[in-house]
Structure 1
Amino acid sequence: MMLQNEPGLLALTCIGVDHETPTIRTFRLRGTAPITYTPGQALVLKVPLPFGPAWRTFTISGGANGDLHLTIKAQGQGGATRWLHDNLTQGAEIQARSPRGHFTLDLRGNDRLAFVSGGSGATPMIAMLRHLADTQPLADVAWFHAARDPDEVLFAAELAQLQARMPNLTVAISVSRPAPGWFGYRGRISRTQLSTAIPDIGRREVFCCGPQGFMTEARLIHAAEGGDKAQFHTESFGGAPVPVATPEPVAAGGPAFAMTVAEREIQIRPDESVLQASLRHGVIIPCGCGEGMCGTCMVRLVEGQVAMVANGGITPEEQAQGYILACSSRAVSDIKVTLA
């Protein structure tokens, strides 16, 4: 079925699907024109679920000649990732916002790198590593990856191939549920395990992606090993919960503005974001990182003014079209926003 192209969105066609593990697939997508991105950036897909579109953020795992690859794990039943696994087949179409995000090698300030990933958090790392293999094959990189079981280890064969091309690349893999014949690391991430796998991790610049608890533990280990906190970077699309203001009635004539969202008229305080006020009143706006990075919570400002502090999650072109990030915008007048 041909999708009606929505202004400001990329129209993408699936040109192939690769089965990486029993629960993870790589979707190869092609636009009407070549798409540029920086390794580590993400794409926000408009997933057409039966009850309405869902905006979901996925890191770009690679691509060539203007195509994009998304490596996605199916989570549960009835959600966006399951829909993608069941419906995004060769020839199917889907829409997305332009690539975005600052979790890239542009942050690098150290010649010694450590990639620390858990589960599908390997996707930004493989994009960065492929780039380094092509541009800096002598780069000093140590990668530690944690998976649930051996069958769920992502990119294992490719990592072996990249080690042949990159003499200074070391790879350590740990599984929490080892099978017979597994000779790698075992168990959940710990200081002993990570410092054994990467003995000089405290002197390396770390790029970390995975479940929130995994990233928090890795950050603590890096600090305990003498690491500079400014050299520990995380991708957090959907990890930490978004702080929500405690529901409190706003006194008549008090410091509040009127906000219309999803056809509802509610109140928003100057000290809370559009996202927080919406959630406080039971209006759900999809959100990923809660830090202005991923663009998942983008809404259109129809009336009024806001103060927005974005962190790479919105482009100047999108702002010119009236879009704002709900997690990073605060009202400075009465406002009206739409979710479409």
Structure 2
Amino acid sequence: MQMASSFHHFDELHVWIDRQNMLECTSAVMETADVMTFTFRPEKPAWFRYLPGQFVTLELPVTDDEPVMRTYTLSSTPSRPLSIAVTVKAQADSIGTRWMFDHLKPGMRLKAFGPLGDFSFVRHPGEKYLFISAGSGVTPMMSMTRWMADCIPETDVTFISCARRPDDILFRSELEVLARQMSGLNLGFVVEGHEARHGWHGLRGRIDGAKLPLLAPDFLERTVFCCGPEPFMRGVRELLTAAGFDMSRYHEESFQPAAAPAAEEIAVRAGVATDADAQVAKVVFTMSGKEIEAKPGQTILQAARANGVRIGAACEGGICGTCRVMKVAGEVEMNHNGGILDDEIDEGYILACCSRPLGDVQIEA
């Protein structure tokens, strides 16, 4: 345990780097029956630098054979940089999150990757904002709102949170406190159903073309951030499109894989013929000592798995950065979704899940 004698001035601390420092769990708090918030600090004294709305990938020791990688959005704010927190929901069929609920306790250490991600008002600024979330999709919105409350409390933001029941509205009490502190923060809650004990007098049902103007009359003028289950986000997209919203100002948290280019396109970029034999690339995994042939269109990750080379991966969509490996030689076509930084690319790193060889390559794995 770190005691008061370990006090450091902020300017004495280094930035937390995922390749050098693990995370230590400091608290595990139940938010609802199936949602918990886990807070972490660096294993060694450091501070966290990230954008509000970004995520981390945790390596969870679910089994003795191989850890499970899971990506979670940070609910904490970088304006309080000595710790980070994730707020997670355990689905009925969840593996990693269920392990966290049952086993992750204060004092335990985990390996983590990140923070990364493009879902932040810092990357997509606007004059005023509309946050629309469902369930645990509220987490990036909380990160952004907490930062705004600390740093620019005059921000004009309408925050709409949708849930199944009033009991399932995450961070409701905190949001109501923040709304009293932020003159420009307007809250809207929508629940699908409720019981008499809830004493609910708000909107019921699902967000639609009638409810949205009630909660955000000027929604057409706002920059929208949306997060929740895919059917929920699809409904919001359709709703906004039908209303004539400028969708260039719509942003959503998505973990969908990057689209794979056709094998012929890869061959053209490599400057080789498009017959099947010419498209076969030799991939050398230097640490495992394996030399294999990647099939046309295969990613480095797919080639590795097919030949027993272990590379950790979580989202497999070029987003989370878990499968980051060093490219020692050769060229690849990398079609990522923000899961790797420019300076990492300059150093020679690639994301194995979305990198396809353009000829022979050597990978440190």
Same fold (TM > 0.5): yes
Tell me, yes or no, if the aligned pair for 1:43 and 1:96 is still in contact at 8 Å: yes
Report what 1:306 is aligned to. Answer: 332
**TM-score, normalization by structure 2:** 0.78
Q: Which moved more, 1:197-206 or 1:158-167?
A: 197-206
Report what 1:129 is aligned to. Answer: 145
Tell me, yes or no, if the aligned pair for 1:18 and 1:26 is still in contact at 8 Å: yes
User: Structure 2 vs 1, CA of residues 255 and 266 (structure 1 numbering), >3 Å: closer, same or farther?
Assistant: closer
**Residue 235 of structure 1, aligned match among 250, 253, 258:** 253
Report what 1:46 is aligned to. Answer: 59
2:39 counterpart SS class: strand
**Residue 225 of structure 2, aligned match among 207, 230, 234:** 207
Report what 2:202 is aligned to. Answer: 184
Tell me, yes or no, if the aligned pair for 1:118 and 1:210 is still in contact at 8 Å: yes
User: Structure 2 vs 1, CA of residues 251 and 206 (structure 1 numbering), >3 Å: closer, same or farther?
Assistant: same
CA distance in 2, matches of 1:275, 1:219: 32
1:36 aligns with 2:49: yes
Superposition pairs of residues 318-329 of structure 1, within 5 angstroms? 318-319=344-345, 323-329=349-355
1:222 aligns with 2:246: no
CA distance in 2, matches of 1:302, 1:41: 29
CA distance in 2, matches of 1:205, 1:75: 30
Q: Which moved more, 1:37-46 or 1:78-87?
A: 78-87
1:99 aligns with 2:119: no
The one-letter code matched in structure 1 to 2:67 is P
Report what 1:22 is aligned to. Answer: 33
Report what 2:321 is aligned to. Answer: 295
The one-letter code matched in structure 2 to 1:223 is T
User: Structure 2 vs 1, CA of residues 281 and 225 (structure 1 numbering), >3 Å: closer, same or farther?
Assistant: farther
User: Structure 2 vs 1, CA of residues 298 and 185 (structure 1 numbering), >3 Å: closer, same or farther?
Assistant: farther
CA distance in 2, matches of 1:211, 1:289: 18
**Residue 13 of structure 1, aligned match among 24, 30, 50:** 24
User: Structure 2 vs 1, CA of residues 187 and 285 (structure 1 numbering), >3 Å: closer, same or farther?
Assistant: farther
Tell me, yes or no, if the aligned pair for 1:41 and 1:99 is still in contact at 8 Å: yes
CA distance in 2, matches of 1:195, 1:338: 54
2:235 counterpart SS class: helix
CA distance in 1, matches of 2:316, 2:170: 23
Following superposition, the deviation at residue 48 of structure 1 comes to 1.5
Following superposition, the deviation at residue 230 of structure 1 comes to 1.2
Report what 2:357 is aligned to. Answer: 331
The one-letter code matched in structure 1 to 2:215 is A
Report what 1:257 is aligned to. Answer: 281
Following superposition, the deviation at residue 259 of structure 1 comes to 4.4
Structure 2 unmatched runs, 5+: 1-16, 264-273
CA distance in 1, matches of 2:139, 2:316: 17
Following superposition, the deviation at residue 302 of structure 1 comes to 5.8
CA-atom RMSD, angstroms? 3.3
CA distance in 2, matches of 1:111, 1:217: 25
**Residue 147 of structure 1, aligned match among 163, 170, 183:** 163
Structure 1 unmatched runs, 5+: 1-5
2:72 counterpart SS class: strand
**Residue 268 of structure 1, aligned match among 295, 310, 317:** 295
1:105 counterpart SS class: coil
Which structure is larger by alpha-carbon Rg, 1 or 2?
2
1:56 counterpart SS class: strand
1:26 counterpart SS class: strand
The one-letter code matched in structure 2 to 1:15 is T
Following superposition, the deviation at residue 311 of structure 1 comes to 4.0
User: Structure 2 vs 1, CA of residues 152 and 272 (structure 1 numbering), >3 Å: closer, same or farther?
Assistant: same
CA distance in 1, matches of 2:261, 2:336: 20
CA distance in 1, matches of 2:58, 2:243: 38
Tell me, yes or no, if the aligned pair for 2:292 and 2:307 is still in contact at 8 Å: no
Report what 1:3 is aligned to. Answer: none
1:52 counterpart SS class: coil
Q: Which moved more, 1:278-287 or 1:31-40?
A: 278-287
Tell me, yes or no, if the aligned pair for 1:72 and 1:120 is still in contact at 8 Å: yes
Following superposition, the deviation at residue 260 of structure 1 comes to 6.5
CA distance in 1, matches of 2:364, 2:284: 8
Following superposition, the deviation at residue 224 of structure 1 comes to 2.1
